[in-house]
Amino acid sequence: MSEQINTIKPEPPKGVGPLQRRETRLAWGLLSPTLISVALVVLLPLLTIFWISVKPIQLADLRPVEPNVYERFRGKATAVGDEIKIEYRLTNRSREKPIDNVTLKDVLPEGLAVQSVPENCTLSARELNCDLGNWTPGYKERFQIPVVVEEAYLANPVGMRDYPAEMTGVSSSDLFNANFTLDNFVKVFDSEEFAEVLWVTIFYTVFGTIGALVVGMMAALLLNKTFKGQGIIRGLMLFPYVAPVIAVAFTWVTLFDPFSGSANALLIQMGAISAPINFFGEKPLALISVTVFEIWRYFPLSFLFILARMQSIDADMYEAARMDGASPFQQFWYLSIPQLLGILSVLFLLRFIWTFNKFDDIFLLTGGNAGTRTLTVNVYEQAFALSNIGAGTAVAVVIFACLLIFSFLFFRYVSREEGL
């Protein structure tokens, strides 16, 4: 007698039910305001920078060209019956772009009897309308309207500027047309200063970031103990970070001034130097000085995070290590460092990005002079000092690309090792 073995087949997974679909739609509906806000705040400016970086425009090109008019009286109105003229001076201030379909609309003062108007103008009551056609680049024109003074005008004399004319016209803008170019990037990379600027940026960022982490860790090690006045000292540690950047930058510039600074005077009196040192005006000392300022100003942030992480480490590990004869350095290296690697890697990532984008500190201390011009300072100089907004945004795209590469390498290698 043969035995029949019955096998139970697993049921196929059921599809998504209507309840789950409704929950999914509800979740996307709740998230949509956040996603739209992020897109407007982050993505839209980023896309705008990419767009401008491939446009051949100057700072003045961001505003469309507009027709300009200057109006005034020619002659004096002193008595009824005096003949004067209303003069309009029309100009296209752009030397490169035309303006099409230009019109003028003006309201003439009461009490002036118009004798005649140009052929391309019409007068209805006191309202003057003129069709001025298309203007070529640098276009200039002047026309006059003769009028006779009446009693109503003498009773209430006003100037033409009390009734400003309205000008309209259509002009093209390089910002919105389909003309694209890579000249901005060619200009950036062909510049003899680009390699130096990139090197200064990397030096300032790497040493400023590592220095802030090291000093912050040292401060955390010193204050990771309970003693009288601990809270006051911890509060003082935060002063460089919370103080206004303008105030502390001005203080540093004054303190290290080669002529009236206290630092130079003290060093000369001690016999350490024979002549004043221009800390923020000489290569390569200026770059070292601004890097030291970066370390001093931002180590409190690292100090806070590292100290908080240290205080969360189990003290029994250190007690067991001391009982086994471990020295303080061995306790720090084999116990503290492994516990701090996670927060140190996060701090390194954040500080690297922030320092790479730092502009105000360097600009306030040196203005980018004496070999301290970073990529962010170069953005300002290209876009606003030289009015080349296209080249400035091209440098900003280079900054974005550098940080994108760094972030990829960090999350590809460093974060894996640290378990982030």
- Each residue of 160-202: pLDDT tens digit? 777 788 999 988 777 777 788 898 898 888 877 899 999 999 9
Higher pLDDT, 10 or 141: 141
Q: How far, in Å, are 199, 207, 219, 353 from residue 348 at the CA level?
A: 19, 11, 17, 9
Chain segment 332-381, per-residue pLDDT in tens: 888 888 889 989 999 999 999 999 999 999 999 999 998 999 999 999 99
Q: Which residues pair with 124 in a beta bridge?
A: 127
**Is 103 within 8 Å of 132 (Cβ atoms)?**
yes
Chain segment 47-63, per-residue pLDDT in tens: 889 999 998 888 777 77
Contacts of 133 (CB under 8 A, 6+ apart): 101, 102, 120
Band the pLDDT of 253: cuts 50, 70, 90: very high
Model pLDDT, residue 2: 47
Model-level pTM?
0.77
- pLDDT, averaged across the chain: 87
CATH 2.60.40.290 residue ranges of the chain are 68-170
Model pLDDT, residue 416: 57
Higher pLDDT, 252 or 58: 252
**pLDDT above 80 for 3:** no
Q: Among 70-84, 153-167, 205-219, which is the least confidently predicted range?
A: 153-167
Token pair listed for 124: 């209805």
Distance CA 38, CA 49 (A): 16
Band the pLDDT of 1: cuts 50, 70, 90: very low
CATH superfamily entry for domain 183-418: MetI-like (1.10.3720.10)
Band the pLDDT of 15: cuts 50, 70, 90: low
Contacts of 211 (CB under 8 A, 6+ apart): 291, 292, 294, 295, 299
Model pLDDT, residue 164: 85
**Averaged pLDDT for residues 213-235:** 87
Distance CA 332, CA 224 (A): 12
Contacts of 356 (CB under 8 A, 6+ apart): 201, 205, 375, 376, 399, 402, 403, 406
Cα angle for residues 277, 278, 281 (degrees, 5° grid):
155
CATH 1.10.3720.10 residue ranges of the chain are 183-418
Cα angle for residues 119, 125, 126 (degrees, 5° grid):
85
**pLDDT above 50 for 21:** yes
**Is 141 within 8 Å of 90 (Cβ atoms)?**
yes
Chain segment 378-399, per-residue pLDDT in tens: 999 988 888 889 899 999 999 9
Band the pLDDT of 414: cuts 50, 70, 90: confident
- Provide the CATH topology of domain 68-170: Immunoglobulin-like (2.60.40)
Token pair listed for 100: 């099409």
Chain segment 281-329, per-residue pLDDT in tens: 888 899 999 999 999 999 999 999 999 998 888 888 888 888 888 888 8
**Averaged pLDDT for residues 110-125:** 90
**Is 160 within 8 Å of 71 (Cβ atoms)?**
yes
- Residue 419 Ramachandran class (φ > 0 left, ψ -120 to 50 alpha, else beta): left
